[in-house]
Chain A
Amino acid sequence: MANCSSCPDHADCGPPELDTRGFDGVVALAGNPNTGKSTVFNALTGLRQHTGNWPGKTVTRAEGGFKFKNRRYKLVDLPGTYSLLSTSQDEEIARDFILFGQPDCTIVVTDATCLERNLNLVLQVLEISDRVVVCVNLIDEAKRKGIAIDASALSDDLGVPVVATAARAWKGLKELTQTVVDLIDGKIKTAPKRAFGDGAFQDAVTELIPLIDEVAPDLPNARWVAMRLLDGDHRVRQALQSGDLARLAARTRGPIEQASPLIALGGTQ
């Protein structure tokens, strides 16, 4: 029948740790497939990419670095996904990194020509992390198609900074890095948009949050954890039981050298 990796109880094989020595911060790059995420990655890292992305989309971990005002940041390219509801290996990798890898900032790259679909992912990332910068890429292509994006309206609605870029033409990248660094330095405060679901669901979430707070105090995303527990997310249940979530909460902004062993990147590698 199906192979072992199809079994729901198939355990992940030893995830490699993220080597952050010599870096002052970790930035994750998330986004839908086909949004020019790799172009943004290459533009930021100046083609200092370590691994090849064979099939038009990132299947192996791609890491690089960029420098800004004498500080070095590690940039991790996550697999392109439509959602983070953990329905495929890709989504699990991306979700786990944003949750357990605790990047200092997550850039969500979106396609300006098809913003609505992309915002679905943005809203999900905002549930997990409040350190998010939205990059509206392919703004040049949108212009050609007669589409105008009001970045400040978008930023007001989402509660996080929004930067328009045209990565292929190297436009808006400086502003993007400046915004990311400002966010990491705490110069930009965020208030991410979080509120979905109908009444009964919201009530259940509200009831769970204080209980979660007791187990893992000061978790920045207790709301999201509550939602995932209601959904029956096995990975989050485990993290709660094993105390990983509590440790995450205790380690808010600690030295990156102690990065959690839970950083599960690279799939089965």
Chain B
Amino acid sequence: MTDGRSNQAAAQLVLARADALRGNLADDFRDDLVEATYDEAQAIAERAVRQVRAPRWNLDLAVDRLVTSRIFGLPLMLVLLAAVFWLTVAGANYPSALLMKVLFAVEAWGSALFESWSIPWWITGFIWHGVFRAVAWVVGVMLPPMAIFFPCFTILEDLGYLPRVAFNMDWLFRKAGAHGKQSLTMSMGFGCNAAGIIACRVIDSPRERLIAILTNNFVPCNGRFPTLILLASIFVAARFSPGLASFAAAGTVVGVVLIGVFFTLIVSAALSRTVLKGEASAFTLELPPYRRPDILRVLYTSLIDRTVFVLARAVAVAAPAGAVIWILGNVTADGVPLARHVADFFDPLGRTIGLDGVILLAYVIAIPANEIVVPTMLMVYMGGKIMTEDVTGTSLESLLVDDNGWTMLTAVNLMLFSLLHNPCATTILTMWKETRSYRWTALGALLPLVIAFAVTFTVAEFARLFGAG
């Protein structure tokens, strides 16, 4: 530190000399350097690597030719997507119901225990019917699908299939002024939009990364799947025979996802032609060789890293939200629960877009995390009542359709709203962390909201025009 100043002067000297020397170098000395390094690498590799026997039939290339085939490529992709959703919907059905039954039995048992200790009703209600129920709902509804969805997805990822999807889809994304790797970040968004947005770092160009960040919300994340699956089961699958029901539900979810992909492309194209103008940047995508997935690692990353990570976050948000919902539902003003007052306030707006005030209230409360939309709606609809029966069954349908006047329009618009509406707080925060810009974060949060209102309003108007809803 003593000779700090003289050192700094010496440093300046070095830099000046370097600048002067650079002036004498050939224009493309950087290219030459990379070339020289590669030449060296090639020479070393030639000495160390020997092809001892001719490679056998190239399975990779055969699979690649099929996967990227003009005839089979796209159908194969859709079939795989549908298969993953079907596995998730069908496989999660039974464990979900069972888990719910157990958890609600625990709630009944716990509240009964509290009552027997003559603890005041509001403490019992707050803890068991508020906090615990919201947590139980989130765990019951989310854990089984995630435990199926994430491993399936990680297998496709480990196998090397996802880069092929990016490869195939790039043309569409290029037309939208975006990057093919956006399909990777979208796939990640199925798990969690915040994770999808972090994943956008794989896109090197700032402009295209920003487009991917701003549109990631249009793929429904795990927190929104329960809403979609629930609606698909009640309003679509119920019209099919039990054998086909799960296929119908999966088909509906795939349909919603495709609408999401459509909006992603449209919004990407709009952004890249307005605020994010610019030329398509470097597209270099490595297609790694197919590899047998490492099952241990798949289970570990998908269950511990992803499932537990997302679930823990959901539970952390659900607990306080449960408390808020319970207070809104049980504190009364003029003899009516607060929740009703707020819902009534939102009701005209909700009706205009084919929903109702309770749904909008649920979405306001669910800003921290989308997972709690359905429990909030149900709790407000039920008022003080306690439902301990099978929540995915017919009692739910009668609660929504008979008691609260839901129609096909409500279902369709709720699916659309769930798909398109503003991202959750974690996602918004992640957007800010990744862009470090209030403007882009605000755009990323508000643009989907505006689109959601516009689309649901249009659908509702058309439905009314044709006499439905």
| Residues of A in contact with B (beta carbons under 8 Å apart) | 1-6, 13, 33-34, 38-39, 42, 47, 49, 51-57, 59-60, 83, 85, 87-90, 113, 115-117, 119-120, 122-124, 141, 145-151, 153-154, 157-158, 168, 193, 196-198, 200-201, 204, 207-208, 211-212, 214-215, 226-227, 229-232, 237, 240-241, 243, 246, 267-269
- A133 to nearest B CB, angstroms? 16
Contact A146 B288, CB 8 Å, known A4-B436, A201-B29, A230-B21: no
Contact A119 B50, CB 8 Å, known A90-B201, A146-B55: no
Say yes or no: is B351 at the interface (Cβ < 8 Å to chain A): no
CB–CB B206/A5 < 8 A:
yes
Report Cα–Cα, A124/B37, bound state, in Å. 8
CB–CB A123/B24 < 8 A:
no
Q: Given A38-B297, A198-B36, 11 more contacts at CB 8 Å?
A: A115-B45, A119-B40, A123-B40, A124-B37, A146-B54, A146-B55, A157-B44, A201-B25, A241-B11, A241-B12, A269-B433
CB–CB A207/B17 < 8 A:
yes
The one of A34, A120, A204, A237 that contacts B37, using a Cβ cutoff of 8 Å: A120
Say yes or no: is B14 at the interface (Cβ < 8 Å to chain A): yes
Contact A55 B52, CB 8 Å, known A154-B44, A201-B33: no
Contact mask for chain B residues 291-332; partner A; CB cutoff 8 A; 1 contact, 0 none: 100101100110001100100000000000000000000000
The one of A113, A150, A215 that contacts B50, using a Cβ cutoff of 8 Å: A150
Say yes or no: is B340 at the interface (Cβ < 8 Å to chain A): no
Chain B, interface residues (CB within 8 Å), range: 35 or more
CB–CB B50/A200 < 8 A:
no
Query: Could you write out 30 A-B pairs with CB less than 8 Å apart?
Result: A1-B278, A3-B210, A5-B206, A5-B436, A51-B305, A53-B301, A54-B188, A54-B198, A55-B198, A55-B201, A117-B41, A119-B44, A122-B41, A123-B40, A124-B37, A141-B289, A146-B56, A147-B49, A157-B44, A193-B44, A200-B29, A201-B29, A201-B32, A214-B14, A229-B18, A230-B21, A230-B29, A241-B8, A268-B433, A268-B434
Identify the closest chain A residue to B50 (Cβ): A148
Identify the closest chain A residue to B46 (Cβ): A116
- B22 to nearest A CB, angstroms? 5
The one of A147, A200, A241 that contacts B15, using a Cβ cutoff of 8 Å: A241
Report Cα–Cα, A243/B11, bound state, in Å. 8
Say yes or no: is B207 at the interface (Cβ < 8 Å to chain A): yes
In the complex, chain B residues whose CB is within 8 Å of the CB of A147: 49-52
CB–CB B201/A34 < 8 A:
no
Report Cα–Cα, A15/B109, bound state, in Å. 49
CB–CB B435/A115 < 8 A:
no
In the complex, chain B residues whose CB is within 8 Å of the CB of A231: 30, 33
The one of B32, B44, B188, B286 that contacts A55, using a Cβ cutoff of 8 Å: B188
Contact A197 B278, CB 8 Å, known A157-B48, A230-B21, A268-B436: no
CB–CB B297/A39 < 8 A:
yes
Contact A59 B11, CB 8 Å, known A154-B44, A157-B47: no
Identify the closest chain A residue to B45 (Cβ): A116
Identify the closest chain B residue to A38 (Cβ): B297
In the complex, chain A residues whose CB is within 8 Å of the CB of B277: 1
CB–CB A196/B37 < 8 A:
yes
Contact A150 B47, CB 8 Å, known A33-B286, A53-B301, A232-B22: yes
In the complex, chain B residues whose CB is within 8 Å of the CB of A200: 24-26, 29
CB–CB A197/B33 < 8 A:
yes
CB–CB A154/B433 < 8 A:
no
Report Cα–Cα, A34/B60, bound state, in Å. 15
In the complex, chain B residues whose CB is within 8 Å of the CB of A269: 433
In the complex, chain A residues whose CB is within 8 Å of the CB of B185: 55
The one of A42, A59, A146, A226 that contacts B53, using a Cβ cutoff of 8 Å: A146
- B192 to nearest A CB, angstroms? 8
Residues B235-276 near A (CB distance < 8 A) = none
CB–CB A39/B202 < 8 A:
no
In the complex, chain B residues whose CB is within 8 Å of the CB of A157: 44, 47-48
- A48 to nearest B CB, angstroms? 11
In the complex, chain B residues whose CB is within 8 Å of the CB of A38: 297
